[in-house]
Structure 1
Amino acid sequence: MSVVTDAAAVPVAQVNPVAKLAAAFTIAVGLVLSVDWVSASTALVLEVILLAAMRVPLRSLLNRGAILVFAAALTAVTITLYGEPSGTVHWHFLLITVSDGSITLAVATFLRVLAIALPAVFLFIDTDPTELADGLGQVLRLPARFVLGALAGVRMIGLLGQDWRYLGYARRARGVADHARIRRAAGQAFALLVFAVRRGSMLATAMEARGFGAHPTRTWARPSPFGRREIALIVSGFVIVAVAVTTSVVTGHWNFIGSR
C-alpha cells in the first residue's frame, strides 16, 4: 500500500496523462479476467483510496460517481432479469428469470463496471487534450502526424455545437425553420457535415503548410515529463490488480471469464 500513497503525493492534474492511461488500462485488463464480486470490490476500495489521496475534487467524485453508479445499476438490472439462471428461481415470466445465479452475477457485474470505469473517468479529470497529445508524441513516440491530427480533430469537436446553433439561427432568419422539423433537422445535419468537412480540409492544409507533419525536424513546444510519480502511479495500478486477484483466489471466489 505504500506504493499507492507514494503515487498520490501530487494532485491528479499534475500527473502525465500517459501514466494515467497506462494505470487505467492495467486495472481494466486485470478486472476483465474474472467475474466475481471479491476482486471487483477489493479493487474498488483501493481505487477510492488512491483517488482520494490524489486530491480528486469531492464534488466531481460525487457527481460523476453518481452517473457511474446509475449506469452500472442499469447493467445489473439487465443481468438480474436475463442472466443465466442457476440455483433457486425466485421469479419467472416469459424470458425473464430471476434466480440466485443471476443475482450473484448481477452484483459482480455491478461492482466490476464501477471498478473499471472509476479510474478511467476520474484519472482524466482536468486533463488537457494538448498535454495528452504531448505525452503520446514524446513518451510513447507515436507518429507526430497522427497525434497532431487527432488533437486538431478533438479541438474542432467543441465547435460543432456552436455551428449547429448558428445554422439554426440562419434558417430561422430565412423563414425555413417554422415547419417540418424532422426534414429541417436532417437538412441542417447535412449542412453541418459539409461545413465540418470544409473546415477540416482548411485546417489540414494550414497545418501541412506550417510543417506540423515534418517530425522529427520539428520540435515539441512543451516538454512532457515522465518521472517517479508517473512510474509510481503505474505501479499502483499493478498493485491494485495484484491485491484484488490474490484476494479473490485466496477466498475461492476467482471465476476466470474464459471458463464460463
Structure 2
Amino acid sequence: MISAGPIAAAGAPLARRNPVAKLAAALLFSLLLIATLDPVAPAIAIAIELAVLPLFGIRHRVLARRAWPLLAGAGGILVTLVLFAADRSGPVLLAAGPVLVTQGVLVTALGLVLRMLAVALPGIIVFATTDATDLADALIQNAKAPARFALGALAAFRLVPLLEEEWRMISMARRARGVDAGRNPVAKLRLFASTVFALLVGAIRRGTRLAVAMDARGFDAGIPRTVARRQHFTRADTLLVVAAGALGAAALAVSVLLGTFRPLLG
C-alpha cells in the first residue's frame, strides 16, 4: 500500500516545526538551486539535506524507500543524456562503438540529475514528516490560504493510498477476463498504458464526486471557518526558514568561489 503518512520519529526537533515553516524552507532552499546548471551546488545541497535528515527523525534507508521513484527517474535521465545528448564537447572519456561519452556530456548530465535530486528531496522530507491535517490547518491559519483549496488538497492527499489498491483491482479484473500480456513486451506496454488510463478516469470520477460532496456540506459557503487545532508560527520556525535560505545561498557561494557556477539565465 502506498504510504502517505508521516514517517518521522516522535520528538525529532525539525519534524515538530510548523508545517508552513517547513514548506517555506523547502521551497526557498530548492528555488535557490534552480539558478545554476553546475553539479557542485546541488551536490553540496544534497550533502546538507542528508546531514540534517536525523534532525527530522528520518533514517536514510527509510527515505530511500520513500524516494525510490525519484532515484529511478534520476538514473534514467543520466543514462539518456549520456547516450543521446547532442553536445559532445570536452575530452572523450569513453568510446565504445556508437556510445561516446565526453566530459561535457557527463558534467551536464550530472548537473541535471543532482539538481533534480537536490530540488525534490526537501519536498519529500517535508511531506514525510508532516501530518496532512496539520498541513491543511497551518495553510489556513498561518499562510491564509483559502479553506476550499487547503481542505480539497487534504482530501486528495488522503485518497493517494487508494491508487495502489485500485490498480490491483483493475489488474485482477482484467486477468479474470483473460486479458494478459504474457511475455510480449509490446502487449505489456499497451496493457500498462490502458491500465493507467483506467486509473486516471477513476481518479477523475472520484475527485468530481468528492468536490460535489464537499460543496454540499458547505465547504464553499464563504463563511469564516473555525479550527479545532491551533498551529503556532514561532521564532524557531522563522529561524528554520532563514537557515534554509542561508544554506542554499552558501551552496551557491561555494560554486561561485570554485569557478563552476553556470547561471540558468545568461
TM-score over 0.5 for the alignment?
yes
Map 1:1-260 to 2 at 5 A: 10-64=12-66, 68-83=70-85, 84-89=87-92, 90-91=94-95, 96-162=99-165, 177-180=176-179, 193=201, 197=205, 203-259=210-266
Check whether the contact 2:133–2:154 (CA below 8 A) recurs between aligned residues: yes
Aligned mates of 2:168, 2:24 — CA distance in 1: 38
1:246: how far off? 0.8
Aligned mates of 2:116, 2:30 — CA distance in 1: 9
Unaligned residue ranges in structure 2 (runs of 5+):
1-10, 182-190
Identity across the alignment (%): 36
- TM-score, scaled to structure 1: 0.76
SS at structure 2 position matched to 1:257: coil
Q: Which moved more, 1:40-49 or 1:84-93?
A: 84-93
What's the CA shift string for 1:181-200, capped at 9, x where partnerless? Answer: 58x9969x769947973x65
CA RMSD of aligned residues (A): 3.5
Q: Which moved more, 1:149-158 or 1:47-56?
A: 149-158
Aligned mates of 1:66, 1:132 — CA distance in 2: 24
Aligned mates of 1:15, 1:26 — CA distance in 2: 16
Distance of aligned partners of 1:92 and 1:148 in 2 relative to their CA distance in 1, 3 Å threshold: same
Distance of aligned partners of 1:42 and 1:135 in 2 relative to their CA distance in 1, 3 Å threshold: same
Residues matched between the structures, number:
245
What's the CA shift string for 1:96-149, capped at 9, x where partnerless? Answer: 542111112223233222222222212221422222211221111111122222
Unaligned residue ranges in structure 1 (runs of 5+):
1-8
Q: Which has the higher helix share?
A: 1
Check whether the contact 1:82–1:97 (CA below 8 A) recurs between aligned residues: no
2:187 maps to what in 1?
none
Aligned mates of 1:62, 1:161 — CA distance in 2: 19
- TM-score, scaled to structure 2: 0.74
Distance of aligned partners of 1:72 and 1:208 in 2 relative to their CA distance in 1, 3 Å threshold: closer
1:62: how far off? 4.3
1:216: how far off? 4.2
Check whether the contact 1:28–1:116 (CA below 8 A) recurs between aligned residues: yes
Check whether the contact 1:12–1:123 (CA below 8 A) recurs between aligned residues: no
